[in-house]
Amino acid sequence: MNVREYYHYLAAAREQLWQFVRALPQEDLDRDLIGGGERFHNIKDLLLHITDVENHWIHVIARDDGVRPPHERPYNWVRPQAQQHDLNWILSYSQEVTHKTERFLDSAPELERPVKLVQDDPASATVTLDQLLWHVMTHEVRHTAQIAMMVRQLGHTPPWLDYLRFARPAAPLGGKDPAEEPDLAEESGRCEGGAADREGEEVA
């Protein structure tokens, strides 16, 4: 699987997550579920952080063409305090960054080109664009698992965002959905239950 294919999956999973969180009560989105956390405290903090990291590494560092979020209020991206922002503002910013990344990947960039992690530091470490993109994508997966755990803490069932949901072949007309097979149904239950919670705990 290449970067473009995996990002396509992430973008589809994001849309499902965004639709889900839009239906949550505002007080749930703002509730502090990471007691003692220095940087992040609630679901909106993590949603904003995921987008900030993608924008920073891919568009600011690698391309010098970052998205400027239409600030409702100034915020520190290290400690976003996202409860001050409306959810629709966060998701609008996220959609803009997503579309920008999709256009960039569709342009077939040179994935082996070097990228300095600190542009104005001659001694900065250098990675390939491919490595940087995978860093951003795996970062999102970790925090999405954390959001799923927080959703469960609030008493809700998070959407199933596993790769197989998006990659499995469509059921033939009048046929059986592969997700209804016992092995996949069992796997789905594990992913929505204990496995998702354990992964969320690792990044809390």
Domain boundaries, the chain: 3-203
Residue range 3-203 in CATH 1.20.1740.10: no
The predicted structure's pLDDT at residue 75:
64
Neighbours of 114 (CB within 10 A): 11
Q: Determine the straight-line distance between the first and last CA of the chain, rounded to whole angstroms.
A: 28
The predicted structure's pLDDT at residue 169:
61
Spans in the chain with pLDDT lower than 50: 171, 175, 177-204
- Pair of tokens at residue 201: 């705990």
Is 56 within any annotated ligand binding site? no
The predicted structure's pLDDT at residue 77:
65
Neighbours of 137 (CB within 10 A): 17
With contact defined as beta carbons under 8 Å apart, do 103 and 20 qualify? no
With contact defined as beta carbons under 8 Å apart, do 128 and 114 qualify? yes
On average, the pLDDT of the chain sits at 82
The predicted structure's pLDDT at residue 35:
75
Is 41 within any annotated ligand binding site? no
Is 85 within any annotated ligand binding site? no
Helix count and strand count (H, E) for the chain: 8, 2
The predicted structure's pLDDT at residue 15:
96
Its pTM stands at: 0.79
